[in-house]
Each structure stands twice: as structure tokens, then as C-alpha cells.
């Protein structure tokens, strides 16, 4: 018959207590009902713990002896259970893991029932709202409130964005911009989307890490996101999405560290949720104007800090390792921020010097060529292409084809100039790329136009689709070129903005 629980047993993990009780009862077998009665514990609780041991392959039910009229349930060790009990080192590791699993279940309980008021999450949302409100007041005074709310790329808003903390690569020493930019949002939709995401993830993260850990992960992720963006793809940026990606990265690190101590269904659920969110954010990062580097940097920074905090929470030998990782992460982020600021500022200063040079010659020449192109398209070859009867006029078609060839020939030297122009700024490099793309797509379009006009009635109708496709490609290239000119008309040192 089992003895009542000792004080020593009451301080130990329930699975350890019952595993050792089963071992001590061999070979006769452990009687759960008798143990529960003498120990003064609920039988259902004892059976639940035994089920957990059974799922781990450590205990099994002993078949009843036909000669014994006692019908009580008997539990014995499996071979794996016997091996574990007879190996003190393995048993100690197993007990440590089960204690950690119990702690993790407490963590999951806090996540499932978070505190009614989570001041860290609410505080960050309040700061973001205040920052946006200050920007709205400045925009209202400048007569640009509508653009501030619904058209954040409107030229002229840059000074307002800079005054409320937007990261702009114009000063290598303005390191605070890597943090303040996380509170700046460009437009009402941007604000609402990020606020909703931060509120949802913030509640879970603050319940898991506590207020201090949550804020540390968010700030570190914002910093690393904008630092990587500045280092790889320098330009102006703002938004909390880097910090939000960092919260996901930290949760992923927590899951990896504790995966062996979590119930299988919990592990699968967390993995599925993180993968789905990761795919969604990755897809959003491909949208033009959204900084993929900002998202990636935030996720990596959050994962490093989350990894460190998860190890420190385990205690024991893991604590110094976690502290070392945290220190290394802080140093790495600091160095990345320093390099990113210097690199981004160099690109910004390059733009400041190179944009006026391009505006003196190449941009006006581009505008002049485009005017000539549109005159030829509207007055000559396009009417002939659109109306089949004009194709039969060999004289008019021949003249239009000659004009198309002339337009191609004049674009050649301009394309060479753009190709050979050396630029280092982000905006000027983008301008060169778009100008070259526009000239090349225009030449492809003009080539097929001239061919169609000269062919006249012999032009196969099925090739009309080729003309339409090349014209569409050329129009999209011209729109991208004009959008770049418009977006940098009053702000020569900006680049892509991270939502």
C-alpha cells in the first residue's frame, strides 16, 4: 500500500513523484486509488498525471492476475521508464524539462488570460497616436491636412514628417531617428493597420515577456529594422511594422527554444500561426514602397532579443548564455545602426549634389525627347495604326515610319548618356534606372510601330497584340519615371517609405 506524500515529495514535480512511486512499487505494481486515498489527493489528478507519463512511454497498465480477486488498477514501468529511473543524470534532465514544461503552461495561461490593462502596449499606442496628432496639427496649419491623412506621398509633407520623427538620411549623427521613426505613420490607413497589429501582438507579447521585456523587444526591433534599411536600401522611412515583425520574431525564437517542452497541439498551433503571419508579412514586403529590409531587420532583431530572454527565463546554465546573446545583440545592432546611418547619409548627400546636376542637362533632355515622342505618336503613327484605311496610304505610312525611326535615333545618344552617368545617391540611381528603362521600352515600341506602318495592308492582324503590349509596357515605364520626378520635386533626399 502506498504511503502518504512526504513534505519532500510535495515540493517536487507531480510526474517525478508518481514515476518514482511506480518504480518503488515494482514488481507488485502501483495502485493509484490507494495512493490517492492515503495521500489525500484527488484520484482524477493522479490519473491525469499517470496519463501524461503513459503518453511519454514511461508507464503502462499491468494486466490483472486471474488468480487475484482484487480488481484495482495496477500501473508499472515500461522499459523506457525503468531505464530513466536507473540513470540519475537522465532523470535529472527529464525532471528539469518537466518543470520547464509546467512553467511554460503557466506562461501560456497568462497569454490566454492577459491582464485587463497592459500599460506597455497601451503606452506605445498612445505615443503613436500623439505623434500622429501633432503631425495632423502641423498639416492643418499648412493647409495640407487632407494630404496628410489620405495622400502621404504628397510633395511638401516631408518637413512635417521630419518634425515628428521620420527617419531621413541627412545626418549621420541623428541616431535617434532609428527609434523615433517607429512612432511615425504616413496616412490614416497606415496608422490604423499598424495600430491594430501592434495592439493584437502587443497583448500576447506583454503577457509572455512582461512590460519591460516587451518594450525591449519592440524598441530593439524598430532600431534593427531601420538600421538594416539604411544600410542596404537607404531612404526615408517610418512606421511600427519593423517592431511588429520583431514581436513575431521573438515569439518564433521562444517557440524554438521551448518546443520540446510544449504539448504537441500547442506547438503545432503556434507554428501554424507564426508561419501564416510570416508569409503574409513577406508578401506585403514585396509591394512597392514597403521596405522589405525594414521588416527583415525587425524580425531578426526581435528574434535575437527574444532568444536571449527565453534562455534567461530558463535559469540555470542557460541564464549566462542568454545574457551573452543579449549583449552580443545590442553590440551588433549598435554597429549596424552606425554603419547604416553613415551609409544612408552618404547616399543622401550624394543625392543632394547629383540631383541638381541631372536637372541641368539629362532631365530636361529627357523631357524634350518625350514631348517630341508624344507629338509623333498623337499626330502621326497612332492614328494610322488605329484606322485600317490609313494603312493603305503608303505615303503617309512611310512618313510616319520615318518619324518613328527618327525618334529612335535621337533616343540612342540620350540612352548612352544615362548609361554612362555615374551616380551614388539612391534617388539618382533610381532615376538612371527608370530613364534607361523608359528609353529602351520606347525603342522597342517604336521598332514594331515602324515595321507595322511600312507593312501596311500586309501587316498580320494577329501582331496587333504585340503593338498593344509594347505600348502598355512603355506607358508603365513612363508613369514610373514621372512618379519619381513628382515625388522628389520638393524633397530631393527621400526614398522609399516603409509603411
Q: pLDDT tens digits, residue range 125-156?
A: 999 999 999 999 999 999 999 999 998 888 78
pLDDT category of residue 269 using cuts at 50, 70 and 90: confident
* Spacing of C-alpha 430 from chain mean position: 24
Cell of 340: 547604416
Residue 175 DSSP symbol? T
Q: What is the largest CA-CA distance in the chain?
A: 116
pLDDT category of residue 111 using cuts at 50, 70 and 90: low
Q: 330-358, pLDDT tens digit by residue?
A: 999 999 999 988 888 777 766 777 888 88
State residue 496 phi and psi, 5-degree precision.
-65, 145
Cell of 154: 504628397
pLDDT category of residue 2 using cuts at 50, 70 and 90: very low
Over 70: is that where the pLDDT of 242 sits? yes
Q: 273-289, pLDDT tens digit by residue?
A: 788 888 878 777 777 66
Over 60: is that where the pLDDT of 389 sits? no
* Spacing of C-alpha 337 from chain mean position: 18
**Hey, what CATH class is 119-347 in?**
mainly alpha
Cell of 173: 549623427
Helix 292-314 / helix 264-285 crossing angle, nearest 10 deg? 160
Looking at per-residue pLDDT, the higher value among 128 and 56 belongs to 128
What is the reported pLDDT for 337? 92
What is the reported pLDDT for 479? 92
Rounded-to-integer distance, Cα 68 and Cα 19, Å:
25
Domain extents for the chain?
A: 7-86, 119-347, 361-487
Cell of 278: 510570416
* Spacing of C-alpha 327 from chain mean position: 23
The closest of 347, 340, 482 to 428, measured between CA atoms, is: 347
What is the reported pLDDT for 112? 53
Across the range 487-493, mean pLDDT stands at 52
**Hey, what CATH class is 7-86 in?**
mainly alpha
Rounded-to-integer distance, Cα 337 and Cα 129, Å:
26
Over 70: is that where the pLDDT of 377 sits? yes
pLDDT category of residue 105 using cuts at 50, 70 and 90: low
Cell of 442: 520606347
Give SS3 for 323.
helix
Rounded-to-integer distance, Cα 41 and Cα 34, Å:
10
State residue 59 phi and psi, 5-degree precision.
-130, 160
Grid cell 496628432 — which residue? 133
pLDDT category of residue 179 using cuts at 50, 70 and 90: very high
Please spell the DSSP secondary structure of 149-162, one letter per residue. HH-TT-TT-HHHHH
What is the reported pLDDT for 346? 76
Q: Label residue 184 exposed, middle or buried (CB < 10 Å: 0-12, 13-18, 19+).
A: buried
Residue 325 and residue 307 in contact, taking contact as beta carbons nearer than 8 Å:
yes
What is the reported pLDDT for 135? 96
Rounded-to-integer distance, Cα 48 and Cα 43, Å:
9
Grid cell 506597455 — which residue? 120
Entry pTM: 0.64
Amino acid at each position: 500500500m502506498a504511503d502518504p506524500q512526504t513534505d519532500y515529495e510535495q515540493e517536487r514535480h507531480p510526474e517525478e513523484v508518481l514515476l518514482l512511486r511506480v518504480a518503488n512499487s515494482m514488481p507488485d505494481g502501483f495502485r493509484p486509488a490507494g495512493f490517492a486515498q492515503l495521500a489525500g489527493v484527488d484520484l482524477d489528478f493522479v490519473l491525469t498525471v499517470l496519463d501524461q507519463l503513459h503518453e511519454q512511454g514511461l508507464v503502462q497498465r499491468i494486466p490483472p492476475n486471474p488468480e487475484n480477486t482484487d480488481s484495482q488498477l495496477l500501473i508499472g514501468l515500461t522499459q523506457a521508464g525503468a531505464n530513466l529511473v536507473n540513470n540519475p543524470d537522465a532523470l535529472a534532465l527529464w525532471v528539469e524539462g518537466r518543470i520547464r514544461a509546467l512553467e511554460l503552461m503557466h506562461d501560456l495561461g497568462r497569454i490566454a488570460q492577459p491582464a485587463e490593462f497592459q500599460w506597455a502596449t497601451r503606452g506605445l499606442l498612445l505615443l503613436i497616436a500623439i505623434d500622429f496628432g501633432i503631425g495632423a496639427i502641423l498639416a492643418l496649419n499648412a493647409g495640407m491636412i487632407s494630404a496628410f491623412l489620405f495622400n502621404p506621398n504628397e510633395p511638401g509633407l516631408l518637413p512635417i514628417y521630419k518634425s515628428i520623427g521620420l527617419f531621413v538620411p541627412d545626418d549621420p549623427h541623428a541616431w535617434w531617428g532609428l527609434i523615433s521613426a517607429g512612432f511615425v505613420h504616413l496616412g490614416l490607413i497606415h496608422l490604423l493597420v499598424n495600430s491594430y497589429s501592434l495592439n493584437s501582438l502587443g497583448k500576447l507579447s506583454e503577457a509572455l515577456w512582461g512590460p519591460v521585456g516587451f518594450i525591449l523587444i519592440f524598441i530593439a526591433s524598430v532600431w534593427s529594422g531601420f538600421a538594416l534599411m539604411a544600410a542596404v536600401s537607404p531612404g526615408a522611412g517610418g512606421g511600427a511594422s519593423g517592431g511588429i515583425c520583431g514581436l513575431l520574431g521573438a515569439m518564433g525564437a521562444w517557440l524554438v527554444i521551448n518546443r520540446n517542452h510544449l504539448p504537441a497541439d500547442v506547438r503545432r498551433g503556434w507554428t501554424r500561426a507564426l508561419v501564416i503571419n510570416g508569409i503574409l508579412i513577406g508578401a506585403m514586403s514585396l509591394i512597392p514602397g514597403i521596405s522589405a529590409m525594414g521588416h527583415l531587420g525587425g524580425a531578426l532583431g526581435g528574434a535575437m532579443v527574444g532568444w536571449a530572454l527565453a534562455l534567461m527565463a530558463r535559469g540555470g546554465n542557460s541564464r549566462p548564455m542568454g545574457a551573452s546573446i543579449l549583449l552580443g545583440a545590442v553590440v551588433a545592432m549598435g554597429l549596424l545602426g552606425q554603419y547604416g546611418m553613415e551609409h544612408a547619409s552618404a547616399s543622401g548627400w550624394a543625392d543632394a549634389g547629383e540631383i541638381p546636376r541631372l536637372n541641368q542637362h539629362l532631365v530636361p533632355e529627357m523631357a524634350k525627347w518625350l514631348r517630341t515622342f508624344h507629338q509623333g505618336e498623337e499626330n502621326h503613327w497612332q492614328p494610322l495604326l488605329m484606322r485600317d484605311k490609313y494603312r493603305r496610304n503608303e505615303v503617309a505610312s512611310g512618313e510616319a515610319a520615318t518619324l518613328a525611326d527618327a525618334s529612335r535615333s535621337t533616343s540612342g545618344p540620350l540612352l548612352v548618356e544615362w548609361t554612362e552617368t555615374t551616380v551614388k545617391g539612391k534617388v539618382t540611381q533610381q532615376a538612371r534606372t527608370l530613364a534607361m528603362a523608359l528609353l529602351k521600352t520606347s525603342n522597342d515600341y517604336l521598332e514594331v510601330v515602324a515595321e507595322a506602318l511600312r507593312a501596311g495592308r500586309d501587316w498580320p492582324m494577329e501582331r496587333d497584340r504585340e503593338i498593344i503590349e509594347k505600348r502598355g509596357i512603355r506607358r508603365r515605364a513612363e508613369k514610373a519615371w514621372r512618379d519619381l520626378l513628382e515625388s522628389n520635386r520638393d524633397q530631393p533626399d527621400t526614398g522609399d517609405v516603409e509603411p
